[in-house]
Amino acid sequence: METRVYQPAEDSGLLASAVLERGRGRLLEVGTGSGWVAARAAREADDVSEVVASDLSPHACRAARERAREGPDADEAGRTPTTAFEVVRGSLVEPFAAETFDTVAFNPPYLPTDPDNEWDDWMERALSGGESGRELVDPFLDTVARVLTADGLVLLLVSSLTGYDEVLSYAANCGFDHEVVVEESYPFETLTVVGLTPKNN
């Protein structure tokens, strides 16, 4: 059901613009949701050679696979000889081999959530970042370097609701330098896509 899958919003557009500007080589989008960002990368990013999208939600994976089959070459049944990108179900970067991707993009669930609330359906999981808003950001930063190539780049969307300085401090402790790729301010938050590169590069 569509209501079980996060649909494109301002944060999606911001991540997509960063991917189109900076994405290159083999690209992984973690937490792809509807697959909207992955589809834009596959079809519009000149320097991206291949796109893989992942999500833990089976509903998101189904929606992303449907989106991957859309396009001008689709037949009446919506099939194409090849899909625009591959979809893999899994948690963060766990399913992938080491040094596999030149770019990894992630728009994490980041809304701080009262621990007394039960966020137990797939749509809620797509939004909730736990009590700090960083429940998935920190484990992502702990593990993403494993799947990056030697000169790889991480494009991570960070909300001011999550604690911008806290995220960057954690990223630094995980061995990353950062730069601001794109940023937009809204009435209740500022969204920033940071580019993270391993400090030894």
CATH of the domain at 76: 3.40.50.150
Q: What is the DSSP string of 175-190?
A: TEEEEEEEEEE-SS-E
pLDDT of residue 11: 84
Domain that holds residue 78: 2-198
Amino acid of residue 60: A
Among the residues of the chain, which ranges form H helices? 10-22, 36-44, 58-69, 122-125, 137-143, 164-173
Cα angle value 6/9/12 (rounded, 5°): 85
Give the pLDDT of residue 80: 47
Give the rounded percent of residues in the chain with a pLDDT score beyond 90.
60
pLDDT classification of 16: cutoffs 50, 70, 90: very high
Place of tokens 């937490």: 31
Q: CA–CA separation, 161 vs 23, rounded Å?
A: 26
149-163 b/e (C-beta count within 10 Å ≥ 16 → b): eeebbbbbbbbbebb
pTM, 2 dp? 0.85
pLDDT in tens, 34-48: 899 999 999 999 999
What is the count of structural domains for the chain? 1
Chain segment 121-175, per-residue pLDDT in tens? 544 554 554 555 577 899 999 999 999 999 999 999 998 888 889 999 999 999 9
Length of the chain: 201
Q: What is the pLDDT of residue 1?
A: 37
- Comparing 24 with 187, which gets the higher pLDDT? 24
